[in-house]
Amino acid sequence: MVYYTKINFKYNYELYISPKKEKKSKHSWFFEKKKNQNRPCSYPKKTQKGQKSISLIKLAFKMLPQTNRIKKKKDFELIFKKGRSLKDGFLILKLMENNSDQSRFGFIVSQKVSKKATIRNKVKRRLRSAVEENLENIKKGFDAVLIVLSGLEKKEFSEIEESLKSLFIKAKIISEIKK
């Protein structure tokens, strides 16, 4: 019997234990390779040496590129200190110019919006998607932090997108709206 001890989720590799060191544990079913598994995996499979295939998640959803995201705490603090604020509905926009050819966005959804992390993450995904759809219309060279107020989690995506567009128009960072 063949046992697999570890699955590395970055690549589709399994670590094989030789038959000499057969292990029998009550959890061995977890590490065994399943036959006839027709579900697509969500992590990239290694096709040839040095090549990766495209992740199925990235094909299914368009995501905001990493270059357009604010992740560092220092960047958030700088925007809060020196940026200007605008409000529209359930969104607050903190905006500051940067010396880059990219516009970057950060998203803050506090526990006041929802105690459940799944709902907060859903709101962030919706906002990222709405920003990504308008990314080609947004002027370059801005850092923006979107702060979500309580009540946005109950809105439909189209309402969130309209609120975000009107906020960008107020801030004068949308060059032209294409429909």
Tell me: pLDDT of 63 over 60. yes
Burial track 24-61 (b if 16+ CB lie within 10 A, e otherwise): eeeeeeebeeeeeeeeeeeebeeeeeeeeeeeeeeeee
Tokens of 157: 């995506």
Domains of the chain (ranges, CATH numbers):
3-60 (no CATH), 66-171 (3.30.230.10)
pLDDT of the residue at 64: 85
The 10s digit of each residue's pLDDT in 81-129 is 999 999 998 999 999 999 889 999 999 999 999 999 999 999 999 999 9
